[in-house]
Amino acid sequence: QVQLQESGPGLVKPSETLSLTCSVSGGSIGSYYLSWIRQPPGKGLEWIGYMYYSGSTNYNPSLKSRVTISVDASKRHFSLKLSAVTAADTAVYYCARDRTTLMGMDVWGQGTTVTVSS
Amino acid sequence: QSVLTQPPSASGTPGQRVTISCSGDSSNIGSNYVFWYQHLPGAAPKLLIYRISQRPSGVPDRFSGSKSGTSASLAISGLRSEDEADYYCASWDDSLSGWVFGGGTKVTVL
């Protein structure tokens, strides 16, 4: 059973870069995508972007200029980098195995809270 | 402002049927599958319905999904206290080339 776990700093200063890691255990994400999603306080879910197992990426147009998703050589640690953060980037960040538009996001991490504040 | 529109809240007594709507347009719901996620406080979101009306293994058949045109619905029959959660609809958007979500509907069991 594949499990995902997000990790990273809980506090980031405005204008700095938010960096999170999604660690995969109990298997691999297989030939699927790894998506990042966030939920600002009191708001709904927002898709940030994904990386395909081959390494290709696709980002939400509203965040594209600031987002980078990458993976290490083991394919077990996916990273999310969001640059020039503001208070509007304060949110719970989730990673999820994305089995495409046919099957949806079927495995999610517990989420990690990131606060942007000086 | 979410791309997909959901009512902010819905409620019912135990045993009742509750329906949640999700409205989109031709670039998302109108031309792609709809998914529903259940989000309990402090927990990871859980895939509840995929491909409009399919249930993953382990999801009770009290949960059902449907779609008509550019709108979709999630129905919860035989409402139970453990169904209290936030429910989100999602779909692929061809114009944005990405996933879009609804704003979420909080279901309360009275």
B2 vs A35, A44, A109: nearest CB: A44
Cα–Cα dist A3/B82, whole Å: 24
Nearest to B2 by CA among A15, A77, A62: A62
> Does the structure show a pLDDT above 90 at B41?
no
> Does the structure show a pLDDT above 90 at B1?
no
User: CA-nearest residue of chain B to A35?
Assistant: B99
- Summarised one tens digit per residue, pLDDT across range B52-88 is 999 999 999 999 999 999 999 999 999 999 999 999 9
Quick one: pLDDT at residue A24?
A: 95
Cα–Cα dist B31/B94, whole Å: 8
Q: How far is B102 from chain A (nearest CA, A)?
A: 7
On chain A, the residues whose CB falls within 8 A of the CB of B32 are 101
A36 interface with B at CB cutoff 8 Å: no
Mind giving me the DSSP string for B32-72? S-EEEEEE-TTS--EEEEBTTTB--TT--TTEEEEEETTEE
Cβ contact, residue pair A61, B98, below 8 Å: yes
On chain A, the residues whose CB falls within 8 A of the CB of B88 are 44-45
Cβ contact, residue pair B33, A102, below 8 Å: yes
Quick one: pLDDT at residue B33?
A: 97
How confident is residue B4, by pLDDT bands cut at 50, 70 and 90? very high
What is the average per-residue pLDDT within B5-32?
97
Quick one: pLDDT at residue A54?
A: 85
Cβ contact, residue pair B47, A106, below 8 Å: yes
Quick one: pLDDT at residue A101?
A: 84
Best residue in B47, B55, B88 for a mutation probing chain A (most A CBs within 10 Å) = B47
What is the average per-residue pLDDT within A67-82?
94
- Summarised one tens digit per residue, pLDDT across range A25-53 is 998 888 899 999 999 999 999 999 999 98
Cβ contact, residue pair A105, B37, below 8 Å: yes
Quick one: pLDDT at residue B76?
A: 98
> Does the structure show a pLDDT above 90 at B110?
yes
B44 vs A94, A98, A102: nearest CB: A94
Chain B window 31-70: which residues touch A at a Cβ cutoff of 8 Å?
A: 32-33, 35, 37, 39, 43-47, 50-51, 56
Cα–Cα dist A76/A22, whole Å: 8
